Structure 1
Amino acid sequence: MKITKVLNNNVVITENDQKEELVVMGKGLAFQKKVGQSIDPSKVEKTFVLQNTGISEKLDQLLKHTSEKYLDIAYEILQYAQSKLPYKLDEYLYVALTDHISFAISRHNQGIRLKNALLYEIRKNYKQEYEIGLKAIDFIEEETKIRLDEDEAASIALHLVNSEISGENMETAILVTEMVNNILNIVKYTYQMELDEDSINYERFLTHLRYFSIRFIRKEKTEDTVDDFFVEQIRQKYVKAYQCTRKIATYLQSEFNWEISKDEEMYLTVHIHRVTYRQKNG
């Protein structure tokens, strides 16, 4: 392995046989080394592939202002997260999470505590990501002896959610979270009931709402495939669920200028009926 870029004494960029960029980490790995020189394999502790060529430049910029130990912690967290999540994590997380951990530790040392306004929604709507966030807090404590609070666990969870959308903008994940939460509130208000958040039906509904919202963020249009006869059948069979769907459609039109398709209306109606009817009737 030959060095293509030195990020610091312990982190370098190189290439594998497939010409993919690799971030290689190890204590003293690049001490007094230059581009073009070989790496001592015995000093390599961690390696991960970068398929996005822009990430190495961002890591380079980041490591000029923060310790690579935070990159090391981010690596451990992401390896753990990838083993638990059903979707592939975006490579930018190496940068985003390293930066987040560094900033969180800095704030903690200054006695600055930022509350996560979406803590409740994240804990409720993204349970798997939130559990990983809590585990991440353990990883951080093991390496730094600093215990961050659950607000930081929720923020880390939001990074994971954002990675599913494969974007670098945290505002995207926040928008999805708020949209999902507002739709859930419309359902609760319409039916005057709390939904059983531990039920399989609720999890299915939540999953549908997430992807429903993500399609909007990505501006993915859904073509109408259902015929009018089927639409009318659903409307008559699930009257209250359809009324609820129309309220959601009005909210989306008003807040986001998003006119949902008939297909999306039908899917929402069926999901709403299932999550409310089965809870009421067992």
Structure 2
Amino acid sequence: MRIKKILNNNVVLVSVDNFKKEQIVMQNGLGFNKKVGDEIPEDTNQQVFVLSDSLYKKYEHLTNNTDPIAAQIAEKIISYAEEKYQLQLNEMIHLTLTDHIDGVISRFSKGIVLRNELNLEISRIYTQEYKVGLYAIDQLREVIKSSDLGDEAAFIAMHILNNRLDLDTSEEQIRTTLGFISDIIKVVETYFNKKYDETLFSYYRFVMHLKGLAKRMYAKNLFEEDEILYKALVAAYPEPARCAEKVAKMIFLKYSLNISSEEKAFLTLYIEKLNREYE
């Protein structure tokens, strides 16, 4: 790899033989005492990524005006999300997360701790993204010597969610989806007077179904009527069916949406499975 430009002591732009675009390489002290044209060896500790021309200029400006450690922490978090959970993230995450981490470091130096009102919902509904946030907390603690990092895990999770390639959602949609799913879970837990174990597969499966319901709600592509299926499940699982009716009523009153008998049938089925594994 040959240095094309030094962004700071830790970040350099390099050209690589047989590779059309330049790469951004990050490592502690990588650019220290180096100059353009120098060769640098590849190292497993290096973090490497590529940005489009339009974003590279923005990234260059950002790294020249932020704490150098912010970009390093951001890249560790991005790599963790992609490698541990195979999350596909767009290139904008390199900018937005670096900027956010720099803001965290700056705020904590002034004793400012932020709280996220959706922390609980995010931890229960977007578990993988929240675990990435917890990993980020560990990385930040090495720089910020504080036991209280507020709800940063939730803030990081939101950044991951907003930049996933496989999710075509805005922050407003994510917030509405979180509220929607949380409202349904509250109805079910209240009806059965239970607090469900979020580590159970049935809980995960139920939440995934609710995410699908929320997506169909946004797309106005809800399941059709299927009275035969619904009546069969009502007969088989009367209590879960009554709970599903409570859920349907809440959705109508709060979200002005009538869900079909088929949607209620699937809700009944997933609620029954949730309670079966819980017992």
Sort the TM-score into its range (normalised by shorter chain): 0.7 to 0.9
What TM-score results when the alignment is normalised by the length of structure 1? 0.76
- Which residue in the other structure is 2:265 paired with? 266
SS at match of 1:42: coil
TM-score, with length taken from structure 2? 0.77
Alpha-carbon spacing, 1:22–1:255, altered in 2? closer, same or farther (3 Å):
farther
Q: Is the 8 A contact 1:12 1:23 kept in 2?
A: yes
Distance 1:60 1:171, change over 3 A: farther
Is 1:83 paired with 2:86?
A: no
CA distance in 1, matches of 2:80, 2:152: 17
Corresponding residue for 1:110?
110
After superposing the two structures, state which structure 1 stretch, 11-20 or 268-277, moved more. Answer: 11-20
Name whichever of 62-71 and 143-152 sits farther off: 143-152
| Contact 1:130–1:153 (8 Å) recurs in 2 | yes
Relative to structure 1, is the Cα distance of residues 168 and 179 closer, same or farther in structure 2, using a 3 angstrom cutoff?
closer
Superimposed CA distance per residue, residues 217-237 of structure 1 (whole angstroms, 9 cap, x where no aligned partner):
5x272453x744223312333
Structure 1 residues 251 and 95, CA gap change in structure 2 (3 angstroms): farther
More divergent stretch after superposition (163-172 vs 197-206): 163-172
Q: Distance in 2 between matches of 1:5 and 1:265?
A: 59
Q: Which has the higher mean CA deviation after the structures are superposed, 125-134 or 150-159?
A: 125-134
**Which residue matches 2:214?**
213
Question: Aligned equivalents of 1:86 and 1:262: distance in 2?
Answer: 36
List aligned pairs for 1:165-176, cutoff 5 A.
Answer: 166=167, 169-176=170-177
Does residue 247 of the first structure (1) align with residue 246 of the second (2)? yes
Q: In the alignment, is residue 28 of structure 1 matched against residue 31 of structure 2?
A: yes
Displacement of 1:169 = 4.4
Q: How much is the aligned-residue C-alpha RMSD, in angstroms?
A: 3.6
Deviations, residues 144-174 of structure 1 (Å, cap 9, x unaligned): 5565525112322333344446468444433
How many Å separate the matches in 1 of 2:53 and 2:181? 33
1:1-282 equivalences in 2 (<5 Å): 10-12=11-13, 19=20, 22-25=23-26, 27-28=30-31, 33=36, 40-42=39-41, 45-50=46-51, 55-143=55-143, 145=145, 149-164=149-164, 166=167, 169-217=170-218, 219=219, 221-224=221-224, 227-279=226-278, 282=279
Structure 2: how far apart are the matches of 1:267 and 1:249?
12
SS in 1 for 2:266: helix
> Post-superposition shift, 1:5?
8.2
Q: Distance in 1 between the 2:140 and 2:68 partners?
A: 13
Paired letter, 2:75: Y
What is the CA-CA distance between 1:112 and the residue it aligns to?
1.2
Write the letter of the residue equivalent to 1:117: E
Moved more, 100-109 or 131-140: 131-140
Contact 1:125 1:206 in 2 (8 A): yes
Structure 1: stretches of 5+ with no match in the other structure: none
**Helix, strand or coil at the partner of 2:115:** coil
CA distance in 2, matches of 1:15, 1:213: 45
Contact 2:2–2:40 under 8 Å retained in 1: no
Aligned length: 273
Q: Is the CA contact 1:116–1:155 (under 8 Å) kept in the aligned structure 2?
A: yes
Matched residues in 1 for 2:177 and 2:107: separation? 27
